[in-house]
Amino acid sequence: MRRSLLCLLLLTLGCVAAAQEQDAPVMSPPARQAPQVIPRQPEDARNTLTVPVGTRIPVELEHAINTKSARDGDAIYCKTNFPVVIDGKVAIPPGTYVQGVIQHSQRAGRVKGKAEVLLHFTTLIYPNGYTIMLPGSVGGMPGSETAQMKSKDSEGTVQGDSNKAHDAETIGKVAATGAGVGGLAGISSGRSGTGTLAGAGVGAVAGLATVLLTRGPDLHLQRGTMIEVTLERSIVIDRDRARARE
């Protein structure tokens, strides 16, 4: 009898323990912390400035250009002498280098035609070496007495002065010299008036021949010549890279 009661008690305790184990909460393993993902900064949110098309950049020539020696494809070098400001911020500071190329160079003709040169700008180089493409052409030659823009549709061609005044002066001088010689010859022969007219005619012909055999003046742009570069397309300046130290 006692043995039966003991077995019943043990069975009851086992059932109670099993029930407690079933009711106990199940502990899950600790969750791993997900790595922090930093969103990539969009390109348009960077510290950039857009220089719009048509902006004029004042530069100075770092070397002389002369149509007598200039050849198509020759490199040209300039430097900005005044800041370009966009939205109150300096986009292109003074002292920035501008590189370009001579696309076409032409000397003045012997009968007609002025000397001219077509310049195209290609590269903008900051003092620290930051470089961007610069699609630009000549927009003006402020202050120049020997060069001017050819026309609005000439794609930035710079043209030299004509030689008409000098040609007329040459013809006049040679004609006057011929008239003087003819006058002296007429006096010696007793026909001073006829000799003067004949001498003037011969002198005029000689002067015209001299003009026809002589080229017009070459276009000479001295070092330091002021040029306005006009942007043909907008450019984007990364201000952080432009201001970085070398």
Average pLDDT rounded to a whole number, residues 142-162: 76
Q: What is the DSSP string of 4-56?
A: HHHHHHHHHHHHHHHHHHHHSPPPPPPPPPPPP-PPPPPGGGSSEEEE-TT-E
Q: What is the pLDDT of residue 14?
A: 60
| pTM for the full predicted model | 0.61
Sequence ranges of the domains in the chain: 44-161+218-243, 164-212
Confidence of residue 207 (pLDDT cuts 50, 70, 90): very low
Neighbouring-strand partners of residue 159: 116, 148
Mean pLDDT of 136-160: 81
What does the pLDDT look like over 172-200, one tens digit per residue?
Answer: 554 455 444 444 444 555 555 565 555 44
pLDDT at position 227: 95
pLDDT band at 165 (very low <50, low <70, confident <90, very high): very low
Instruction: Pick 6 or 165 by higher pLDDT.
Output: 6
Instruction: Using pLDDT thresholds of 50, 70 and 90, give the confidence band for residue 147.
Output: confident
Q: Give exposure, 190-218, as e/b (b: 16+ Cβ within 10 Å).
A: eeeeebbebbbebbbebbeeebeeeebbb
**Can you list the positions of beta strands (E) in the chain?**
48-51, 56-61, 65-66, 75-80, 84-86, 89-92, 97-106, 116-125, 131-140, 147-149, 157-160, 220-221, 226-231, 235-238
The yes/no answer on whether domain 44-161+218-243 falls in CATH 3.40.50.2000 is no
Alpha carbons 104 and 175: distance in angstroms, whole number: 38
* Cα–Cα distance, 231 to 117 (Å, whole number): 19
